[in-house]
Amino acid sequence: MVGKSERGRDRYYTSFKALKTRASAILGDNARVADLRRVDWARLAEPWRAERSAADWNHLRRAVSAFLSTLLADKQHPERRAVLKTFPIAPEAAREPELTATEFWRLIEHTPEYARPCYVTLVITGLRVGEYLTLGLEHLRQESCSIQVPGTKTAGSNAVVAVDPDYWPWITAAVPSPLGYKWLRTHFKRAAKEIGRFDLRLHDLRHVYAQLASDAGAPTAQVQAALRHANPAMTRRYEMRTAKGNVARLVGGALKARQVG
């Protein structure tokens, strides 16, 4: 079975279903593994990215890679390498959700009351959605207002996350989650639509956590530690956006100081 989690398996299934539709002439009901080499991946990439997204295309690539690795029991198998060699990686634009604290609370007002602790917990902890959904009461450390996070992505994911004591009641109301991924995402997207933010994704709440910290003056090293990023380059994008705002204000101030009339 491809995918370590139920959510991962569901996403892979969605990718394979879309692939079968778009490459039906080659990947029909009687298709074989070797037929994957006959797919013109480069030609398929452009319309796929236009209709869905670059991130969705790259997820399809990961799905195909995981499928072949599992089936062939070897990541270095010549068949897998031959397929991925012709399977281009799409460049993805960095996500900058631009969700302010005020907008976040407006969004929360449009979600069901019983679901609100879930979204607040994601923002005040910076947890990945998959990490949050695995939490149980046994992972909560009330004495220290912290959470022992089960590792779900990298070795560094298995760590302790601190929580502002004033927000601990939100944590106890949110763990274990009263919602599965489907409804967690559904309520979020509906609320985002209500405030006119059609671009928002559930994962953006992790970005908001980091951006709020950076905007408040937290050094990159501290934000990196809180997000459990292995590479500081992954964290500096939040600092860069803060820096751009600072420069904009400096330029504006310089212009106003010399403005005539």
Domains, the chain, ordered by start: 6-85 (no CATH), 101-246 (1.10.443.10)
Among 36-50, 111-125, 215-229, the range with the most confident prediction by mean pLDDT is: 111-125
Crossing angle of helices 41-51 and 6-22, rounded to 10°: 110
Find, among 112, 150, 131, the residue nearest to 209 by Cα.
Answer: 131
Burial label for 157, CB within 10 Å (0-12, 13-18, 19+), is middle
**pLDDT attached to residue 156:** 47
- What DSSP designation does 126 have? -
One-letter amino acid for residue 96 of the chain: E
8 A C-beta contact, residue 106 and residue 195: yes
Evaluate if residue 195 carries a pLDDT over 50: yes
The model's pTM: 0.66
Share of residues in the chain with pLDDT > 90 (%)? 44
Going from the C-alpha of 226 to that of each of 32, 231, 234, the distances in angstroms are 45, 12, 12
